[in-house]
Amino acid sequence: MALQDLWSGVDPEVSKRSWIPSALRARFQLLVFNPGGKRLSETRMVARRTTLLDALMSRITINAIPEPNRATFEILSDLNLGQFYLGGGTGLALQIGHRYSIDFDLFSENNQLRTDDRLKLKNLLSSKGDIEVLMEKDGTLALLLNNINVTFFYYPYPIIEPGPVHRTLKIASITDIALMKLSAVVNRGNKKDFIDLYFIIKDCISLDQLLHLTKEKFRDARDFAVQALRALTYFFDADLDPMPKMIKPVEWERVKNFFLKQSKIISLRNFEIDL
């Protein structure tokens, strides 16, 4: 970020994210300027910007998790799950509060969830409640913790940027969740994946930026951006899915039209492909 942006009280990393509450935007203005209106020194401005970003990182919309599932979220938040981080729709909903989400999907870039790894997790979770294993194999452990779905995945792709932390529970950043959702859509994602991406791209980070970051996230994938753009215009499977329970209402037709327009513009401009 350019120093003049700080001096003017305009932070592009904050202002471009419309989901940030107006109270925090106002707080940033106060952080940049002294009460008398005098601009702070560069060192003090950087320190105060860090304070603001820390506030953003700790912003959790707990109401996105229905009441019966919150106890499980609190258990997971205190377990110190090491390399695992919460992703998926719940990880996103906690940050942008767009819809309700009930399942907990946890990912690790390094823990391959072999037999010993799965046993350690089962022992850890069973010390906090009743567990029922639904499925396990190398790379995956799916179970019920107090009758709530919790799934662990080995996900061998790097974290692009840090996300918030709720007590000991790491949560994937909006950017990383968006990239994971793009990958899901390429593999015939469901309606929730499209809706999640709609709110991310509309309010948080552009589709152009996400496509650029796919090179960093999915380094070995060939032509991922083109595959993603095509997948974002294919709704046959998602059309059959029920609409998720929303906090911020949106029509499915609006979501589809949004992606048809976005994909066509970017495909023509960046790849000279007419979808």
Residue spans of alpha helices (H) in the chain? 3-7, 12-15, 22-32, 42-57, 67-77, 88-96, 115-126, 174-186, 191-203, 207-217, 224-231, 236-239, 252-266
pLDDT tens readout for residues 194-233: 999 999 999 999 999 999 999 999 999 889 999 999 999 9
Amino acid at 128: K
Cα dihedral angle (231, 236, 238, 242), rounded to 10 degrees?
170
Domain ranges in the chain are: 3-57, 62-171, 174-271
Domain 62-171 bears CATH identifier 3.40.50.170: no
- Look up residue 137 and give its two tokens: 């194999």
pTM, two decimal places: 0.80
pLDDT tens readout for residues 97-151: 999 999 999 999 999 999 999 999 999 999 999 999 999 999 999 999 999 999 9
Q: How many residues are present in the chain?
A: 275
Q: Please check the confidence at residue 56 and state whether its pLDDT lies above 80.
A: no
Dihedral sign from CA coordinates of 43, 44, 50, 53: negative
- The average confidence (pLDDT) of the chain is 85
Amino acid at 255: V
| β-pair type (104-108, 148-154) | parallel
Choose the most confident range, by mean pLDDT, from 18-22, 24-28, 75-79.
Answer: 75-79
